[in-house]
Amino acid sequence: MIRLLRFLRPHLGRALLALALSFLAVAAQIGLLGTSAYLISRAALRPATILLLMVPIVGVQFFSMGRSSFRYLERLTSHDVTFRLLSDLRVWFYRQLDARQPADLGRVHSGEILSRAVHDIESLQEFYLRALAPPVVLLLTAVLVFFLLLPMAPSIAWTVSSLLLLGSLPAVLQLRLGQRAGGEMLRKRGALSIAVADGVRGVSELLAFGGADGYRAKLDAAQERLLAAQGRMRRQAGMSSALLGLLGNLATLAALVLAIPLVRAGRLPGWDLAVVAFVALASFEAAQPMSQSFQALGQCLAAGRRIFDIVDQPAACAPPTTALHPAGAGIVVRDLRVRYDPQATPAVRGIDFELPPGKHIAVVGASGAGKTTLISALTGFAPFIEGSVRLGGVPIEAIRREEIWEMSAVISRDTSLFNVSLKENLRLGRPEASDAEVAAAAAAASLQALVAVLPEGLDTPVGEQGTRLSGGERQRVAIARAILKDAPILLLDEPTEGLDAVTEEAVLRDILRFAAGRSLLMVTHRMVALDAMDEILVLSGGRVVERGRHEELLAARGVYEQLFRLQGDHLGDS
């Protein structure tokens, strides 16, 4: 809670103003009902002159206008504070994510990160509106009511104020329940976000293999669990609200029971009887938000804990304290070992190779051999526990990751495309590129035929995830981005996955033409165009079991030759 309160510090002035306005709105409500009761009671006794009623008449008008004005200003100010608080939280959270090493975030599902970045932070909008302000307003109202009723009858003042403060007990009891139920609801919402994210990414596979119905049932079950958690919270809030209503009625009844004998004894004017009852009833307006206050606090604490859990995770590899700049684009890897789980076997181990500028290396092997892990280690997305990776003669861990990414262009099997124009998707390679440079990169990646048939050319939206493009066209977009970026190091992670043989050959031809003079590392399980590589590393079980050129490895009749023959037989059968 202390960490959440720190975000309120820059907006403390506005928060205190909103708190004061909220208290003034409740005070105006008490003044309105109390003055109205006094006015009606005195008028019923037919005073000798109307002048005796002028002050309460003006008071009713003042409190009526004041209640509406103060409540409006309170809503305006409190929501301004809330939106500023949410803005600060979001900016802080995204900066924390940006400052983390990619390997650290790889431990958490992307759908879970999305849920915490959106829904959990959104839940914190209740932190000020419902969790912090209502208890303070309730306490101030209890003090106000006590001093209002004290001149009339101390016993009534103590009773009504005590019952008013007692109204916080049902809410306090919900603090633990709110943490438990709120945390459960946030977890269920995170599980639903993970299910949705997995479905969006795997929609093609679900449709192709007939898994849509099973996925829909899984999604429905996750949604039902979320709705059940939300229903439990609503029932708890409803019970607390009912208890507060009961306490308000008891306070009004207690005030009347204590006041009637005083009126009969002549110790309290008759017109104050209605005043006492209405003040007691109006004061419980401050207690009504308490039905959800501590429940909201429990939920906010659970949401804050989930957010801080991500940013407080121990770093897999510490960022460099003093960043060094590589002297070139050559990569030297020595005895590399990468392990995702401390208890698991290393994903890759004992990897050695040199990739100077202009050299092209292919890494092949069966699924799970560690090929993609190698790419991840070179780009900072997977921490290595032993060995060294040097870029331009400098240890990669001593280089700012932004500089590593600036020097590298990655073409992977999953090209991220957004529902904007083709031009803007290409410009992700270099945001400051001119229209002429974008068009030139598209032409270099053999996208002229696509641009020619699109209704608006490069300005045509490509659809969500590039649904208007074929697989080969999406890969050419990735090539165009790399061309636009003009990085000296080119990393390919299964760049032709899912493409037919003709398109695959054309895409690889364009990639190799662009890679001339650049360092290229291609991870693939497709035994295509490998005769153009300067060296081939064959991985098995995370180790390099064979290395050499295409002709040498075929002649050795080892693992590489078996992979090449099996894939050739498979293509021949198909």
Q: Which amino acid is at 238?
A: G
Indicate the residue among 311, 341, 371 that finishes a domain: 311
For residue 8, what is the domain's CATH number?
A: 1.20.1560.10
As a whole number of angstroms, the distance between CA 448 and CA 136 comes to 66
User: What pLDDT, on a 0 to 100 scale, did the predictor assign at position 135?
Assistant: 83
Claim to verify: residue 289 and residue 409 sit in the same structural domain? no
User: What pLDDT, on a 0 to 100 scale, did the predictor assign at position 24?
Assistant: 92
With respect to residue 318, please indicate whether it lies within any of the assigned structural domains: no
Nearest to 148 by CA among 61, 289, 27, 286: 27
User: What pLDDT, on a 0 to 100 scale, did the predictor assign at position 73?
Assistant: 93
As a whole number of angstroms, the distance between CA 387 and CA 7 comes to 42
With respect to residue 423, please indicate whether it lies within any of the assigned structural domains: no
Say if residues 403 and 336 touch (Cβ distance below 8 Å). no
What single DSSP character describes residue 118?
I
Claim to verify: residue 410 and residue 381 sit in the same structural domain? yes
Show the low-confidence residues of the chain (pLDDT under 70): 1, 48-49, 51-52, 99-112, 129, 169-183, 201, 204-205, 291-296, 298-299, 313-323, 341-342, 380, 383, 498-499, 567-574
Question: What kind and span of H or E run contains 536?
Answer: strand 535-540
> Please, what sign has the CA dihedral across residues 467, 468, 470, 475?
negative
As a whole number of angstroms, the distance between CA 570 and CA 560 comes to 15
With respect to residue 326, please indicate whether it lies within any of the assigned structural domains: no
Claim to verify: residue 160 and residue 71 sit in the same structural domain? yes
With respect to residue 441, please indicate whether it lies within any of the assigned structural domains: no
With respect to residue 356, please indicate whether it lies within any of the assigned structural domains: yes
Domain holding 296, by residue range, is 2-172+237-311
With respect to residue 565, please indicate whether it lies within any of the assigned structural domains: yes
Claim to verify: residue 271 and residue 301 sit in the same structural domain? yes
Put the strands of the sheet holding 519-523 in their side by side order: 408-412, 489-493, 519-523, 360-364, 535-540, 543-548
DSSP β-ladder status, 535-540 and 543-548 = antiparallel
As a whole number of angstroms, the distance between CA 418 and CA 342 comes to 36
With respect to residue 27, please indicate whether it lies within any of the assigned structural domains: yes
Total count of residues recorded for the chain: 574
Q: What is the 3-state secondary structure (H, E, C) of 170-230?
A: HHHHHHHHHHHHHHHHHHHHHHHHHHHHHHHHCHHHHHHCCCHHHHHHHHHHHHHHHHHHH
Please, which residues bridge with residue 520 across strands? Answer: 360, 490
With respect to residue 433, please indicate whether it lies within any of the assigned structural domains: no
User: What pLDDT, on a 0 to 100 scale, did the predictor assign at position 513?
Assistant: 83
Indicate the residue among 277, 311, 345 that finishes a domain: 311
Claim to verify: residue 379 and residue 307 sit in the same structural domain? no
Claim to verify: residue 404 and residue 269 sit in the same structural domain? no
User: What pLDDT, on a 0 to 100 scale, did the predictor assign at position 500?
Assistant: 73
Claim to verify: residue 307 and residue 344 sit in the same structural domain? no
CA distances from 564 to 47, 374, 508 (A): 109, 21, 18
Indicate the residue among 247, 276, 311 that finishes a domain: 311
Claim to verify: residue 298 and residue 355 sit in the same structural domain? no
Domain count, the chain: 2
DSSP β-ladder status, 543-548 and 384-391 = unpaired
Claim to verify: residue 286 and residue 402 sit in the same structural domain? no
pTM over 0.85: no
DSSP β-ladder status, 360-364 and 535-540 = parallel
As a whole number of angstroms, the distance between CA 199 and CA 17 comes to 46
User: What pLDDT, on a 0 to 100 scale, did the predictor assign at position 316?
Assistant: 53
Write down the residue that tokens 């009852």 correspond to: 277
Claim to verify: residue 384 and residue 243 sit in the same structural domain? no
User: What pLDDT, on a 0 to 100 scale, did the predictor assign at position 263?
Assistant: 85
Claim to verify: residue 301 and residue 366 sit in the same structural domain? no
The tokens describing 358, both together, are: 């202009």
User: What pLDDT, on a 0 to 100 scale, did the predictor assign at position 365?
Assistant: 83
Claim to verify: residue 366 and residue 498 sit in the same structural domain? yes
For residue 389, what is the domain's CATH number?
A: 3.40.50.300
Say if residues 185 and 216 touch (Cβ distance below 8 Å). no
Say if residues 534 and 361 touch (Cβ distance below 8 Å). yes
Question: What kind and span of H or E run contains 390?
Answer: strand 384-391
